[in-house]
Amino acid sequence: MSKRHTTVNVAVIGGGVEGCSIAWHLARAGVSVTLLERWEISAGASGASAGGVRHQGRDLREFPLAFRAIERWQTLEEDLGADLEYRRGGHATTTEQPEDLPILKASVRAQQLAGLDIRVVSGTDLRDLIPGISPNVVAAAYSPGDGHANPTLTTQAFARAAERAGAMICTGCSVTAISQTGGRITGIATADGPIAADVIVLAAGAWSGELAATIGLDLHCGPDGYQAMTTYPVEPHLVQVLGSMQRMISLKQLPDGRYLLGGGWPGTFSLETPRGQTNEANILGNQEAAIALIPDVAHAVLDQAWIGIDMHGHDDVPILGRVDGIDGLIVATGFSGHGFALSPAVGEAIAGLITTGWSPIDISALGLDRFDGASEASALHHAG
């Protein structure tokens, strides 16, 4: 797609799941919006994601977004007119250490008080719930409303729906700078020339920092490379997404039987390309962590491994909203390895901010202004 307006009301920079969701929500609210993507839709973290859709284990500041997102996921396939491979089989954060049970229980209690449907499962209940689980796992924090979906399909479906609603989607279009005059956004510079815009949404993922720097803005986050990998298909049996208190692991089984392993194992990367390089030790470490939870993973042959690059907030929480002192600039970045699940609510929040002046979802704790003073992190725990 290469059609483009040279004057737009809103320019969204970045064709990841957040930018595409924002463009769709804006277009269906009747806003003239152009999305500019440097490579192709879902080229960045969104096309590399493990696709977990959970509200369990989030920072309390993200709870309003996470709750709304899970609500939206229930009808998202219908709303977008696309199969997103969304499955709601629950999420289980496991422990193999009996001495960690008090921490697990306290975390579950705190999340229950925040309104989440979550409970501790152990013993035969745990083994009935997750038949292939290792005998070494003693308990899990289980939230039945969580699940997973296909991130590439989801991002592309947001983009297609945005186009149907009237948005311009320009791929192969690299934004080189943001322009402002006297504290007011005027547009962007691209490799093909300038584009005037009243509002710019900076949703360029790991690449947001270099664009923010063109107007001297510090986003208080930096790029991070995360590993994910898939096996060849085996008999489907695992419906939950599994995490661990002791191990870096996120494990699920895709609808076709492939295991998908993640959990934040790092790799090397540069921002010149959307994917980084894996290393053998981390591939083995990731496999070992998965086998420790589901021994059957040892029988599944590894197919692919990759490194995706996401923007990591200095306090592990997204950066969302207006920027003080720069009228017309909205940031939506810093999703810190867990932004896919939030995407329907991110689009709704940012579109509301632009069309009505306020977000229908409470994102007041997620603004860049939280770094003005000492930030009070209220993390329940930081999951990948």
Ligand X SMILES: Cc1cc2nc3c(=O)[nH]c(=O)nc-3n(C[C@H](O)[C@H](O)[C@H](O)COP(=O)(O)OP(=O)(O)OC[C@H]3O[C@@H](n4cnc5c(N)ncnc54)[C@H](O)[C@@H]3O)c2cc1C
What are the residues binding ligand X (CB under 6 A)? Answer: 13-19, 36-39, 43-46, 48-52, 151, 174-175, 203-207, 211, 226, 228, 250, 262, 274, 308, 310, 333, 335, 337-341
Q: Which is nearer to ligand X, 39 or 371 (CB)?
A: 39
Contacts 24+ apart (CB under 8 A), 361-367: 361/64, 361/65, 361/68, 362/64, 363/64, 363/65, 363/320, 363/321, 364/321, 365/61, 366/61, 366/62, 366/65, 366/317, 366/318, 366/319, 366/320, 366/321, 367/319, 367/320, 367/321, 367/322
Closest approach, Cβ 373 to ligand X, in A, equals 26
Closest approach, Cβ 350 to ligand X, in A, equals 12
User: How far is residue 331's CA from residue 126's CA, in Å, rounded to a whole number?
Assistant: 41
Q: Which is nearer to ligand X, 37 or 348 (CB)?
A: 37
Q: Which residue is nearest to ligand X (CB)?
A: 16
Q: Which is nearer to ligand X, 242 or 341 (CB)?
A: 341
Task: Give one DSSP letter per residue of 270-291, joined into a string.
Answer: -TTSSEEB--HHHHHHHHHHHH
Q: Using CB atoms within 10 Å of the CB of residue 196, give its burial: 0 to 12 exposed, 13 to 18 middle, 19+ buried.
A: middle
Closest approach, Cβ 115 to ligand X, in A, equals 19
Q: Which is nearer to ligand X, 121 or 195 (CB)?
A: 195
Residue with the two structure tokens 């229980």: 105
Closest approach, Cβ 371 to ligand X, in A, equals 18
Closest approach, Cβ 4 to ligand X, in A, equals 12
Q: Which is nearer to ligand X, 74 or 136 (CB)?
A: 74
Q: Which is nearer to ligand X, 128 or 204 (CB)?
A: 204
Closest approach, Cβ 102 to ligand X, in A, equals 27
